[in-house]
Homo-oligomer: A and B are copies of this chain.
Amino acid sequence: MPDSCIIPHFKAYAELAPFEAELLKTLELNPRAYSAGAVVRARGEHATCFFTLSSGWAYACRDLADGDRQVLDIFLPGQIMGLREVGHGCSQSNFVALTDIQVCPFPKARITELFDESTRLADLFMLTMAREQSILIERLVNLGRRPADQRFAHFLLEMKARIAPDASTFELPMSQGFIGDALGLSSVHISRTLKSLNERDLVAMHGNQVRINDCRALSEFANFDATYLDTDTTWVRRHNGDKRSA
């Protein structure tokens, strides 16, 4: 069984009391493997659980009548998939493995039990949902108001910030068609846009390796301001030792 993957994720928000860490661990008890491309849960399926993503990448998407599709989220290890669907009996989107993955399903009701055990965890879940919303908002701006080249650049910068904030190169395990589906562009246009970004020395891609030499220049170009990914945690209460905070 792999080490808990979501704990470091939550620790980014606040120091966890030992009993809180234990509680979070209970969300990752039932690992299940899917290989790249496999559907973890399809739109319309009965949605009774969430999934923690223990390893690999996954995504949520919606298929449209005309064969187009829109990629909605990209999940990295440690994230919880499906939180958005607490209030839906049936899944609103497809959850798919982007690479080979391992996920741990746990029942929705487990969340409320967690809240009962530690209201600080409720605070932290609130934070994670808020951060997800911030990412969605930024994507909305991207789709609504930026031309293809800036849109693509912004996407790459967000990915870099989430995966490898301090490296100049990182791995992006997705095809150009997939990127197009995330950005509301055709795969052909992604190809051309990439070429143009490359010619302007802003981005280099070889296979799945992305290289961004001048991050400042690219951020400038794309109007990328990473603060939407930050989380201010000063308002979160400190934990009070290994005791229930009733």
Residues on A close to B: CB < 8 A? 13, 62, 64-65, 68-70, 72, 83-90, 92-93, 108-109, 111-112, 115-116, 119, 122-123, 125-127, 129-134, 136-137, 139-141, 143-146, 183-184, 223, 227-228, 230-237, 245-246
Contact = CB atoms under 8 A, between A and B. Distances in A.
Given A136-B140, A137-B92, A246-B246, A130 B86 contact: yes
Contacts of A245: 116
A141 B123 CA distance: 29
Given A119-B122, A139-B140, 17 more contacts: A62-B137, A62-B141, A64-B141, A64-B146, A64-B223, A70-B140, A70-B145, A72-B137, A72-B140, A86-B127, A87-B131, A88-B228, A92-B137, A115-B122, A133-B133, A136-B136, A246-B246
Nearest to A48: B235
A134 B84 contact: yes
Most B CB atoms within 10 A — which of A92, A130, A228?
A130
Integer count of this chain's copies in the complex = 2
